[in-house]
Amino acid sequence: MATNIRKTAYFSMRTPNRSGQGARLLNGLAAHGVNLLAFTGFPNAGRAQVDFIPYDVTKFTRAARKLGLKVSKRKTVFLAQGADKAGAVAGICSKLARAGINMVAMDAVAAGKGRYGAIFWVKPRDVARASRVLRAR
């Protein structure tokens, strides 16, 4: 199975870096029927930044509004999915490096049953070029 790379939307927000904040956000979205392709969070300047990558952008933004979440404007992230093997994400990194495109961040995980998934970011000015280099749809 070849790696499939696509561009998709994500939204970020800052939240207190306290126990239970992620659960509160995720449970609220789930109660509104929001399914996520990915979710990531990390400490940022004494708070936490969380990034939501929804299956359905309209459903996500509607739910976020109802929940009073102060999410960012729509931004672009790349999602890679494919067969898990040694160096699965190395090829992605190498293609971007050869093109002189800096990857800002990446989260990757073995998904089980011989599959992996990754989300990764490039600077907004590099999104179109990265899309061409990676043949992202």
pLDDT, tens digit, for every residue of 49-69? 999 999 999 999 999 999 999
Number of separate domains in the chain: 2
Query: Does residue 41 share a domain with residue 19?
Result: yes
Q: What number is the average pLDDT over the span 7-35?
A: 97
Token readout for 87 is: 């160096």
Share of the chain above pLDDT 70, in %: 99
CB atoms within 10 A of CB 55: 11
Measured distance CA(113)–CA(17) in Å, rounded = 34
Q: What number is the average pLDDT over the span 113-121?
A: 96
What is residue 37's predicted lDDT score, i.e. its pLDDT?
Answer: 97
Query: Does residue 91 share a domain with residue 40?
Result: no
Token readout for 136 is: 């992202």
Please state whether the predicted TM-score (pTM) of the whole model is above 0.95.
Answer: no
Instruction: Answer yes or no: is pLDDT of 1 > 80.
Output: no
Calculate the average pLDDT of the chain.
96
DSSP element (H, E) containing 121:
strand 115-122
Question: For 135, which DSSP code?
Answer: T
Query: Does residue 118 share a domain with residue 87?
Result: yes
Please give the residue range of the domain that contains residue 120.
76-134
Q: What is the DSSP string of 11-53?
A: EEEEEE-STTHHHHHHHHHHHTT--EEEEEEEEETTEEEEEEE
